[in-house]
Amino acid sequence: MSFLIYLVVLDFAAYWYHRWQHRFGVWWELHAVHHSQQQMSFWCDDRNYFIDDFLNAAFLAAISLFIGVQPSQFVVLVAVSNSVQNVQHINVRLPFGPVLERIIVSPLFHRRHHAIGYGHEGTRYGCNFGVLFPWWDMLFRSASWNKKMEPTGIRDQLTAPEGEGRE
Ligand SMILES: [Zn+2]
Ligand SMILES: [Zn+2]
C-alpha cells in the first residue's frame, strides 16, 4: 500500500480516537488539558496529558503494525501529521478558501473545535474532530464551517453562571 493510503487510514482512526476523547468522561478529562489553552499558537498541539499522548501513539502504532506500515514509513507519517497539526494551531486567519478547507483541516476549522460551547458540546460532543482531513467530519456530520471567532478554552474556565471560573 502506498504512503497516501496509510495516511488516510491512520487519519480515519485518529478521527475516531479524537471523537472518543470528547465522548467519554475520563478520556475527556485527559484531553481537556489540550483544550484548556486559551491562546492558540504553533506549539498548542504539543500540550497534551502524557498518558493521553501515550495512548494515542500506542493506538496509531498498533493500527500501523496491523496494516503493515514499515517503521521507516511510520516515522515520516508521524512527522507529516504532527507538522500539519502544528500549523492548524497557529493564531491567524489564513484563508484556505472553500475548496482547500474541505481537503485539509485549516486553522479556522480547528479553531472552531477549540471554541468554548462548540468544540465539545451538543449531541456529537463537539465538532471538527478531523486531524488532517475534514472528510470524516463531513461524512459523519460533525463538521462546522462557521468562521465566527469565539473564545477558545473549556467551559470550566468561564465565570458563573456559565462555568466555574477554573483556570
Ligand atoms: Zn479535541
Ligand atoms: Zn487542538
CA 35–ligand 2 middle distance (angstroms): 7
Compute, in angstroms, the gap from residue 36 CA to the centroid of ligand 2.
Answer: 10
Residue 1 has pLDDT above 70, yes or no: no
User: pLDDT-derived band of residue 93, with 50, 70 and 90 as boundaries?
Assistant: confident
In 24-96, which residue ranges form alpha helices assigned H by DSSP?
Answer: 25-35, 50-67, 71-88
75: cell is 516515522
- How many CB atoms are closer than 10 A to CB 66? 9
Name the one residue in this structure whose C-alpha cell is 482531513.
133
> How far separated are the first and last CA of the chain, in Å rounded?
46
| Cα 42–chain centre separation | 14
pLDDT confidence of residue 167: 65
Q: Measure the CA–CA gap between 85 and 80, rounded to whole angstroms.
A: 9
For the CA of 118, the nearest ligand: 1
Give the pTM. Answer: 0.92
Query: pLDDT tens across 8-54, in order?
Result: 999 999 999 999 999 999 999 999 999 999 988 888 888 888 999 99
**Where exactly are the structural domains of the chain?**
3-157
